Amino acid sequence: MKKKSYRRYSARSESLRMCLHNVDFMVGLIMIISVILIAVFAPQIAHYSYSKQGAGPRLTAPCAEYPFGTDELGRDVFSKTIYGTRIALWVAALGASIQLILGVTIGLVCGYYGKWVDHVFSFITDLTWCIPGTILALAVVTILGKGLTNVVIAISIVSWASFARPIRAKTMSLRNMAFVETGKAYGENGFSLMFRYILPNIIPSIIVMTSMTLPETILSTTTLSFLGLGSKSPSPDWGLALSKGMEYITRAPWLSIFPGIALVYTTIGFNLLGEGLRDVLDPQMRSR
Amino acid sequence: MKSYIIKKVLVGLLLIFTVSFLVFCLLYAMPGDPVDLAIDSKVSAEQRARIAHELGYDQPFLVQYKNWLVGIFHLNFGTSTRYHVKVWELMRDRIPYSIRLCGISLLLEMVLALPIGLYCAIHKGNLFDRFVVNSSLVFAAIPSFWLGTLLIVIFAVRLQILPISGYETPAHYVLPVITITLSSLGSTIRITKAEVLEVLHEKFVTTAYAKGLPRRTVMFRHVLRNSLVVVVTLLFMSLPWMITGAVITERVFGLPGMGALLLNSITVQDIPVVQAVLLLIAILTVLCNLASDILTGILDPRIRVSLSGGEN
């Protein structure tokens, strides 16, 4: 028992060491930590509240007092952009959790039981391929109604399948391994075999997939917010800010620039983090 | 081969049929009665019943579905609850814009992605390859709507050489086409490169070199020819991306295409139009997948064998 726990610890510290030497991972990590710090200390960083109208003159170009300019109601764009990080992180966390729970459970069940359960699942996956993800999410929002949370739920409903598929494949390859057979011989039930025997062995892949899901969820949600289905004013949502910016694009292009830069910075950070993690934890996924 | 095609076609038909049913259910998944979506709330109960009868909403659910499905074969997608005209008439005017937008973008993407992907695979690790890899990473993080916005700010607001929005002249299509192409170019290059790299490591390439063939001959006669399978697959697989891109880009640039129609109909809850556009997109996507599956099967016998062998 002692020996086993020692070896596991060593494997973990080995991946940690590899992570620290991975350039992608470290750059991504630093970018994401900076985003998280900005989100936590938003009230200290921003001079004005993101929703305070008339914080300055309307549509002021960027200057010392308003580094990112002001919008059509005289709100400080810098404050809006800073507070927007909170929405992006919340969206990423909520979306990834829903997809994680749905995808892992369904992937495990399909991979473990196979047969008709698996056939039904494969057909449902094929169905979600029939309509491109963003458009399917649009349709789901039509049913659920507008709003940020509904948009995140819609996107999660649409994209859990890409989570479940690799987990299903991994479960299938592990299902007949000796340690699972041993568990079966000890009289463990299916639930225990799936979650206590198989799941711990696919956790590295799950970590990688989750880190890849985070930026995708942020991008899709922002897109739907931009299309006018997500957050409502005065939310500091970047997609909403960019959509408003379009109306004043000739007079105040800065409204369309800065929230977009923040969005791309966050997405690149998560992408780099994900690629770094993949190289360390799950190198086989690279070819995909 | 025959059984492989038949199987694929049957699965495709089943998918389209199921999607059509789900799309039809959209009408009933909406909060409220479908009749309420079609008429004013002030209409009297008698009139309401009459309109419900005219629109066929008083019949059993499955009968309604059957009527809707049969109508589609006659290009009768129902009546828009918002504009009170035939859905097909709304779509007919808008389809050309979307086809133009997607067609040009698809062509441009293929013309750019294939040579670049091929070059990067052959010269893996050189300066140009690293530039392409890194910039595709950046472009993957830029949502297409913001890319469009940036292009407008640069070319229409600052330089003023291209129009901001509209659809009258070819110049209006330049920025939308660039937006769609750039936002999907990175992933297309990446897939092409990965496939070509795989071909480069095949044994027949080693054999070709071992025979003493010059590098150029190996590249064009062996590698390029085998990579053509990818071209076919990519061409069809890109279409769903194109459609998504078009929906967003049409909104940004004010093009009155199918995407704009879909978004507008979702906003005003014009369900018959939403149903028709979704069904059309689904049919297109399934047909494209089918075409790419079948063509790959014909072009690459190994895939055909492994697929029919693995599934039967």
pLDDT at B40: 64
The reported pLDDT for the residue numbered A94 is 94
Residue B219 lies in a domain: yes
> Which CATH number is A89's domain given?
1.10.3720.10
Q: What is the pLDDT of residue B213?
A: 85
**Whole-angstrom Cα distance, residue A200 to residue A253?**
50
Is residue A9 included in any domain, yes or no? Answer: no
Mutant choice from B11, B151, B251, B266 vs A, greatest count of A C-beta within 10 A: B266
Q: Would you state the pLDDT for residue A97? A: 94
Domain annotation covers residue B78: no
B280, B186: one domain: yes
All residues of chain A having their beta carbon less than 8 Å from the beta carbon of residue B252 are: 246
Residue A32 lies in a domain: yes
What is the length of chain A?
288
Q: Is residue A102 part of a domain?
A: yes
Write down the pLDDT at residue B208.
86
What would the pLDDT profile of A99-140 be if each residue is shown by its tens digit? Answer: 999 999 988 988 888 788 888 888 888 787 778 888 888 888
Question: Quick one: which of A213, A231, A221, A227 has its CA closest to A277?
Answer: A213
Using a CB-CB distance cutoff of 8 angstroms, which residues of chain B are in contact with residue A249?
149, 152-153, 157, 164
How many domains, chain A?
Answer: 1
What pTM was estimated for this model as a whole?
Answer: 0.85
Position B171 in a domain = yes
Q: Inter-axis angle of helices A77-113 and A203-226, to 10 degrees?
A: 130
Same domain, B93 and B234: yes
| B68 lies in the same domain as B120 | no
Chain B residue numbers with beta carbons less than 8 Å from the beta carbon of A246 are: 149, 252
The residue out of B72, B102, B121 marking a domain boundary is B72
Q: Which residues of A touch B157 (CB under 8 A)?
A: 249-250, 253
- In whole angstroms, how large is the CA radius of gyration of chain A? 22
- The reply to whether B125 and B250 lie within a common domain is yes
What is the pLDDT, as a whole number, of residue A184?
A: 85
Q: Tell me: do B165 and B287 sit in the same domain.
A: yes
* Cβ–Cβ contact A5 with B under 8 A: no
Identify all chain A residues contacting B150, using CB atoms and an 8 Å cutoff: 256-257, 260
The residues facing B79 across adjacent strands are: B86
Domain that holds residue B9: 2-72
| The pLDDT value given to residue B41 | 64
Mean pLDDT is lowest, of A129-133, A191-195, B35-39, B266-270, for: B35-39
Mean pLDDT of chain B: 82
Better-predicted residue by pLDDT, A121 or A28: A28
Q: Is B227 found in the same domain as B126?
A: yes
Question: Side chain identity at B99, as an amino acid letter?
Answer: I
> Is the CB of A242 less than 8 angstroms away from the CB of B145?
yes
Is A71 part of any domain?
yes
For chain B, how many structural domains are there in total?
A: 2
Contact A212, A274 (CB under 8 A): yes
Question: Token pair of B13, please?
Answer: 């038909």
At residue B306, the pLDDT reads 54
In a shared domain, residues B25 and B146: no
For residue A227, give the nearest of B150, B251, B286 by CB distance. B251
Q: Report whether pLDDT(B145) > 60.
A: yes
Are B15 and A130 in contact by the 8 Å Cβ rule? The answer is yes
Residue A91: per-residue pLDDT: 93
Domain CATH code at residue B106: 1.10.3720.10
In terms of C-beta density within 10 A (0-12 exposed, 13-18 middle, 19 or more buried), how is residue A192 classed?
middle
Cβ neighbours of residue A116 closer than 8 Å, sequence gap 6 or more: none
The residue-averaged pLDDT of B244-269 equals 86
Does residue B82 lie in a domain region?
A: no
For residue B248, what is the nearest residue in chain A, using CA coordinates? Answer: A227
Residue A287: predicted pLDDT: 45
- Which token pair is B232? 């076919």
Domain span at residue A167? 21-45+57-285
On whether both B102 and B46 belong to a single domain, the answer is: no
What tens digit of pLDDT does each residue of B192-239 get? Answer: 888 888 888 888 888 888 888 888 888 877 887 777 777 777 778 788
ipTM confidence score: 0.82
What are residue A70's phi and psi, to 5 degrees?
A: -125, 160
Closest residue in A to B275 (Cα) is A139
User: A53 pLDDT exceeds 90?
Assistant: no
